Amino acid sequence: MYRFLLTPRWWGINVFAVLAIPVCIFMGSWQLSRFEDRVDSHRQQEDRSARAKTAAARPLEQLLPVDQVTSGRQASARGHYDAGHQLLVPGRTLKDKHGERQGFYVLTLLRTDGGKALPVVRGWLPGDAGAKADTAKVPAPPKGEVTVTGALQASENQGSDGVPGGGGPAPGRLTMISAASLVNIVPYDVYDAWITLTDTQAPLRAVPPAAAEGSGLDLKAFQNLGYTGEWFVFAGFVVFMWFRLFRRESEAARDAALGIGVEVEGAVGADGAVGADGAVGADGGVWPEGCAGSDGAVGATGGVGAASREASGRTEEGRDEGGGEGRGEGSGEGRDEAARAGRA
């Protein structure tokens, strides 16, 4: 019954199933490990952020370049603010006791003693960066040489959290905080990093540091979890389809062994239909192969059609009438002659 498993068709099905199931399980396990790595990285980043708030600030040069370890660490730099290149970063939200509020960052470049400039987010203000009433509240940066301390952050990009999409910034504004965005605005080199001040001037509010890219439970992390489920579903689907095909083939083989569903030559159909060779027709008569069909032509099964039977009937009727008259007349004349001879 199960000899069909040795056919070339089933060899292909079995090889595909044997290879597909482990691949799906491996890919699902790999996606799950990626999700777990992101969860562990998120926890480590939270721990580092908590320690960074109480840790002593380190010189900026010792923390560059910014990575997942140094992101959020307290950094210090010394120099003087370039008040002529103060920029506003619109479209930024900040959470407070009233919920999330729309506003803008106030960014000022700090010309360090090393010659490069460090973007410094001095704070956040609610409102619209294009409204004069809101921008008038921005305090002027301190004059002279200052030492700033704040959380170190990596340069933003289009995929960073909080960066709005759309066209280019208006004069005096900046869409995202990065050295690539500032290179055409200021005439000097800029660090590929920025800091957000812990202590701000009123009415500015401190901007909390963001988690390092790839270390939080963002959309990508939950995509890994979704892909995990998809790969395991694929593995289950392969198993399901294999058993479904196997059951169908085995049932067909069992029915063939019992003779169920097999056409037998000369057998009478369920409604008395003609079989392959000389089967009993609907009217119970035997229709030999090669006889005329309903219109006198030879049919597929060679059965006698209605028109052919009618013509045959008329022929037989004529023969019966002719033969009967001949026999009747001949017999009657002979009996009359014999009777007259006897009387004589």
pLDDT of 90 reads: 92
Predicted pLDDT at 113: 83
Per residue of the chain (344 residues), what is the pLDDT tens digit?
678 888 888 899 999 999 999 999 999 999 999 888 888 877 877 776 677 667 788 999 999 998 878 888 899 999 999 988 899 999 899 876 767 889 999 999 999 988 899 999 999 999 998 898 999 999 999 999 999 999 999 998 887 777 776 555 677 889 889 998 898 888 899 999 999 998 898 899 999 888 777 666 667 778 888 999 999 999 999 999 999 999 998 888 888 888 886 554 444 444 444 444 444 444 444 444 444 444 444 343 344 444 444 444 444 444 444 444 434 444 444 444 444 444 43
Query: Using alpha carbons only, what angle is made at residue 190 by residues 187 and 196, rounded to the nearest 5 degrees?
Result: 125
Query: Measured between alpha carbons, how far is 152 from 66 in angstroms, rounded to an integer?
Result: 8
Q: What is the predicted pLDDT for the residue at 333?
A: 46
Amino acid in position 291: C
Contact yes or no for 276/270 (Cβ under 8 A) = no
Which position has the token pair 């956040």? 124
Cα gap 318→178, rounded to integer Å: 113
Looking at residue 214, its pLDDT comes to 63
The two tokens of residue 186 are: 């200021």
The predicted pLDDT at position 1 comes to 64
The C-alpha atoms of residue 205 and residue 194 are separated, in whole angstroms, by: 17
pLDDT for the residue numbered 198:
85
In the chain, the amino acid numbered 159 is G
Instruction: Give residue 216's pLDDT.
Output: 62
pLDDT at 5: 81
